[in-house]
Structure 1
Amino acid sequence: MKKIEALTVGIVVLSMFAYVAIAPVILVIAQQDNAISIGDAGASDSDNKPPIVANPTVDPLIIPEDTDNEPLWGELAELMVNVTDESKIKNVTVKLSAIGGGSKEPMAMGGGSGGGSGLAVMFNIGNYTENNLPANEAPALWTVYNYSINTSVGTARWNETSGTYEPYYLQVNATDRYDNSNTSVSIELIVMKNGDVMPYNGDGEVDFMHDALYLVRHTKGVPGYENIRDNIADVTGDGEVDFMHDALYLVRHTKGVPGYEILH
């Protein structure tokens, strides 16, 4: 029994010495592991610069009011911008509240609604690389975003003083993954009254003497009546401007004939 007890005591003593010898190594390894994890967590992977937004365009620049909220030929405008950033782009939105965007977006195609805020999320439709940069800079990768809209009735803004339709400037907001935003760019859009065909840039009214008679003469090929905006004159929305559909329809509309109240 004494031999067994002595052997047991010896094993315990050796185990204690082994722990004392190994413990500093374990502590060092733990400290090293802790230092690595802290370093990873504190690594700088942020971007404090907002995205760059360029080339705001719209096609066409001028569209008519969509009086029946059914976008047909000539009533849609495609908004486009190019965006680049050091990090990933989270989203690109365009503010449409001024032209009727709200709880019901005035759009036919696009990236999505802003939940009643008048914001629409633009589509990512492709990328391209900008190579004309200094030799010490990497080529910039640009993304093209678009959104197609129509406009609500009553959005045509005629200015009596200037004798023109006032343009809208639809604000774009490009935001990256770090929530840096650029709201410095807007897209110009002009809305005219549907059927305001004469003069070429309109006069703020749709009536028989100016617009309906002008469209009749235009569709009949009368010299001096060639100049017209097709998407403003196509009051039936069928993609063609002719006598039987558009000119006669506008005549009946301006004369108050029942069934011709809405210009399409």
Structure 2
Amino acid sequence: MITAHRILLTLTLCLFLCVLAEGASVTVTASGTGVYWIGDGILLGGTNTGNTTTYLFLTGPDLPENGVKLDDVTVPVADGQGSTFVQAGVGPDNTWRYTWDTSAVRQVAGVDHSTYTIYAVSAPRDRAHVSKAAFGTTSVVVKRDFVTVTLSADSVARGDSLTISGTLHDFPDNISVWLFAEGYRSFARPAGGAGDGSFANVVTGSETLNMTAGWCSVIIQHPGKDGEPDVVPINETWIRDAAGSEIDLGVLSREVAVGTLIQAIRTSQSDAYAWSYFRVVEPLTDPRATPALIPTDTDGVPGPGETATLSVTATGANVVSVTAALSAIGGSAAAVMSDTGDGIWTVSTAAIVPSPFVDGAYQPVLLPVKATGADGISNTSVSIPLTVVKNGDANQDNRVTLYDAVYTARHVLGIESYPMTESVGMVAGGDALSLADAAYLARHVLGIPGYEVLH
């Protein structure tokens, strides 16, 4: 039962607190520059003339609006309940101190260069009621220990290697690489720090050969300020998170396993991470053109020696289509190649655009190949080289002149030092190179009617 005595006592206490708070002040400052890495300790201090205890709480991104306990951001402060606040004792000289471990905000998802406000209050009042007490504030910026990741290629053929590299804020000798590919996983392998804020790690050809064509996720784990990772592997499939919980990633799909690991790192006390991925594709080998050199088709009817068969070996039952880009020689942007068996894909082509002429010679044109699997993932790692010479340019000097007619005649007659690709000189429309081609070419160069087109 509420007695008159208890009511009087309560009113007296409230009056005492009001008198105590009147004219009281609280200040707070933070040591350092105002910008800190997660895990740094910040010395907070100030004055409090309104009480023998200073109550501390925190506000900021992704936190409850009225604040959280400074040393445990999972605990919202409750107005009037001192146990939900961090408490710092006030000395006889009205000063107080408290060292805040910024690792506390590690539990805030997405913390990265975030600004937080620290409240110091003369009574346990939350943000909504802080004006009813003396208080001071200071703001700090807390940054996550960072790590970046760069891949040497966006895709890698099975059996080829790939380099993972990057930069980090600290502890270059204690960075871990996690790989999650279809049919292959590698947990917490040492990244190979260079001691200069960088690292590099090679995914070897023997490793990619064990991967199934598809995506491979790369997670780089930074141990944070304390230098010790909070998320660690137990064996080839299990991990232990910062809370000590053991999780079997082996029973999870690649995508779910990656998400589970990232979530464990994000909610740890000190770890940071970077994430990337690359494609694993079936290898393309033996790109070739037969013959390797052809003349331009100048009459629209490819004659003998004016076509080349382009071929490439695309192994793996997963490959469903292969195309070659022939735009550089005047052909289709995606000429469809046919599977002739044993993984060999081919297409025949003529050319109407000659190769670039550089340093006194025709240079091979590289015709990109694109092999696509049933999963839609494509391999564009190889190109087929093909050299295209101007039709009639017997001595291959990038000009068609009377000398080419003479050169052709001397070659046909077997005179030494006049080698040539005979298909380049077959301009009269016959099935084999002869003196008739030399005569036809001379008449063409001289502009004689009836010889306007080289065949």
TM-score, with normalisation over the residues of structure 2? 0.38
Alignment match of 2:349 (pick from 145, 149, 153): 149
Say if 1:214 and 1:225, in contact at 8 Å, map to a contact too: no
Question: 1:101 aligns to what?
Answer: 331
Identity within the alignment, % = 39
Question: Per the alignment, in what secondary structure is the counterpart of residue 126 of structure 1?
Answer: coil
Question: 1:110 aligns to what?
Answer: none
1:68 aligns with 2:303: no
Say if 2:364 and 2:387, in contact at 8 Å, map to a contact too: yes
Question: 1:125 aligns to what?
Answer: 340
CA change 1:47–1:187 in 2 (3 A) is closer
Residue 225 of structure 1, CA deviation: 5.1
Which sections of structure 1, spanning at least 5 residues, go unmatched?
A: 1-43, 103-117, 128-142
Say if 1:157 and 1:192, in contact at 8 Å, map to a contact too: no
Question: Per the alignment, in what secondary structure is the counterpart of residue 215 of structure 1?
Answer: helix
Partner amino acid, structure 1, of 2:364:
P
Residue 262 of structure 1, CA deviation: 1.2
C-alpha distance in 2, partners of 1:156/1:68?
Answer: 18
Paired positions, count: 181
1:174 aligns with 2:368: no
Question: 2:255 aligns to what?
Answer: none
Alignment match of 1:195 (pick from 392, 414, 422): 392
Partner amino acid, structure 1, of 2:365:
Y
Alignment match of 1:81 (pick from 304, 308, 312): 312
Question: 2:361 aligns to what?
Answer: 164
Aligned 1:219-234 pairs, distance under 5 A: 219-221=412-414, 223-224=415-416, 226-234=418-426
Question: 1:207 aligns to what?
Answer: 401
Question: 2:30 aligns to what?
Answer: none
Partner amino acid, structure 2, of 1:92:
V
C-alpha distance in 2, partners of 1:214/1:163?
Answer: 18
C-alpha distance in 2, partners of 1:213/1:101?
Answer: 32
Alignment match of 1:58 (pick from 289, 296, 304): 289
Alignment match of 1:218 (pick from 402, 406, 411): 411
Partner amino acid, structure 1, of 2:298:
T
Question: Per the alignment, in what secondary structure is the counterpart of residue 408 of structure 2?
Answer: helix
Question: 2:430 aligns to what?
Answer: 238
Say if 1:74 and 1:239, in contact at 8 Å, map to a contact too: no
Give me the CA root mean square deviation. 1.9
TM-score, with normalisation over the residues of structure 1? 0.64
Question: Per the alignment, in what secondary structure is the counterpart of residue 179 of structure 1?
Answer: coil
C-alpha distance in 2, partners of 1:254/1:72?
Answer: 20
Question: 2:226 aligns to what?
Answer: none
Structure whose CA Rg is larger: 2
C-alpha distance in 2, partners of 1:84/1:224?
Answer: 45
CA change 1:47–1:195 in 2 (3 A) is closer
C-alpha distance in 2, partners of 1:242/1:189?
Answer: 26
Question: 1:130 aligns to what?
Answer: none
Partner amino acid, structure 2, of 1:77:
A
Structure 1 runs (4+) greater than 6 angstroms displaced: none
Say if 1:170 and 1:189, in contact at 8 Å, map to a contact too: yes
Partner amino acid, structure 2, of 1:100:
G
C-alpha distance in 2, partners of 1:54/1:211?
Answer: 37
C-alpha distance in 2, partners of 1:252/1:225?
Answer: 24
Residue 88 of structure 1, CA deviation: 2.5
C-alpha distance in 2, partners of 1:57/1:237?
Answer: 27
C-alpha distance in 1, partners of 2:330/2:314?
Answer: 25
CA change 1:212–1:82 in 2 (3 A) is same
Residue 226 of structure 1, CA deviation: 4.4
Question: 2:151 aligns to what?
Answer: none
Partner amino acid, structure 1, of 2:344:
V
Q: Deviations over 1:80-118 (max 9, x none)?
A: 111112x4312001101111124xxxxxxxxxxxxxxx1
More helix by share: 1
Q: Deviations over 1:184-215 (max 9, x none)?
A: 100000110111112xxx1000101x211122
C-alpha distance in 2, partners of 1:47/1:246?
Answer: 52
C-alpha distance in 2, partners of 1:253/1:90?
Answer: 47
